Amino acid sequence: MKKFVLYLLILSAPYAAQAQFDKLKDSVVELYGVIMTADSLKAIPAVSVVVKRDGRGTLSNDQGVFSIVVLKGDQIEFTSVGYKPKLITIPDTLQGNQWSVIQLMVTDAQFLPATIIKPRPTREQFERDFVNTKVPDDDIEIARQNTNAAKRRLLARTIPADAQEASNYYLKQAATRYYYQGQAPPQNIFNPLAWADFIQAWKRGDFRNNN
């Protein structure tokens, strides 16, 4: 019995393959036609005709004529710059293996950003703008400004003291208080060295209000 069933399968295999081939052959369609504008019926060249299923496609020639092989039920998209895309579907119930179309494309308005065209600058304007253009400082100039004495004094006034500086300042104040404990500390108003330091600080602008 098994041999008989196997024998039948071997005999029916060519017929099944032939039926499958005939079905595939019947589903193949040659799609061809011409693509024109909807308002003036002028041929549109270089229109992209793409099968959505697998991304395969072709282009229309200078007369707007195209031809492509598709399958029944495929969706075909027509796209071109300046026109709205168009999508058509090959009918599943199409009789035969050819289908011709006259595809009309509608113009699609494109709004581009405004472009302002100005005349060339004169030589005097170019020289003026070139001289007044601010060139950013390079690394060497930035390092030179950071090592400037005035810049270092400004940073010293604005940067808070770290833990070591704060502890040294507290110990110095405590040592001064212990040293003059039991007596009045000296007044620097009568110290000429203190006055010299004050005058130098005043000339440097240490007491200037930056606000």
* Tens-place pLDDT, residues 149-171: 877 777 777 777 778 888 888 88
Q: Are strands 28-37 and 98-105 parallel, antiparallel or unpaired?
A: parallel
Mean pLDDT is lowest, of 81-90, 99-108, 132-141, for: 132-141
Would you report the helix, strand and coil content of the chain in percent, each value rounded to 5?
40, 20, 35
Pair 146, 186 in one domain: yes
At residue 77, does pLDDT exceed 60?
yes
The last residue of one of the domains, among 105, 137, 157, is 105
Pair 73, 140 in one domain: no
Pair 182, 139 in one domain: yes
Q: Tell me which of 192 and 18 has the higher pLDDT.
A: 192
Instruction: Give the pLDDT mean for 102-112.
Output: 87
At residue 2, does pLDDT exceed 70?
no
Contact 70/51 with Cβ under 8 angstroms? yes
Is the residue at 77 inside a domain? Answer: yes
Task: Look at the block and give the residue holding tokens 């405004």.
Answer: 114
Closest CA to 90 of 72, 107, 64: 72
Phi then psi dihedrals of residue 100, to 5 deg: -110, 140
At residue 75, does pLDDT exceed 90?
yes
Instruction: Give the pLDDT mean for 160-187.
Output: 79
Q: Is the pTM of this model over 0.85?
A: no
The last residue of one of the domains, among 105, 136, 152, is 105
Is the residue at 101 inside a domain? Answer: yes
At residue 19, does pLDDT exceed 60?
no
Pair 183, 153 in one domain: yes
At residue 14, does pLDDT exceed 60?
no
Is the residue at 4 inside a domain? Answer: no
Q: What is the three-class DSSP state of 134? A: coil
Pair 101, 129 in one domain: no
Q: Count structural domains, the chain.
A: 2
> Which amino acid is residue 156, in one-letter code?
A
Is the residue at 116 inside a domain? Answer: no
Instruction: Give the pLDDT mean for 66-79.
Output: 94
> Which amino acid is residue 31, in one-letter code?
L
Is the residue at 61 inside a domain? Answer: yes
- Chain centroid offset of residue 50 CA: 29
Mean pLDDT is lowest, of 54-63, 130-139, 158-167, for: 158-167
Pair 94, 127 in one domain: no
As a whole number of angstroms, the longest Cα–Cα distance in the chain is 133
> HSE on the CB side for 70, CA within 13 Å?
30
Mean pLDDT is lowest, of 108-112, 134-138, 207-211, for: 207-211
- Whole-angstrom Cα distance, residue 10 to residue 185? 123
CA distances to 194, 196, 197 from 201, in Å = 11, 9, 6
Instruction: Give the pLDDT mean for 72-86.
Output: 93
Is the residue at 139 inside a domain? Answer: yes
Which domain does 166 fall in, by range?
A: 123-204
Is the residue at 76 inside a domain? Answer: yes
Q: What is the mean pLDDT of the chain?
A: 81
Pair 172, 101 in one domain: no
Is the residue at 210 inside a domain? Answer: no
pLDDT for position 34: 96
The last residue of one of the domains, among 105, 135, 165, is 105
pLDDT bucket at 30, cuts 50 / 70 / 90? very high
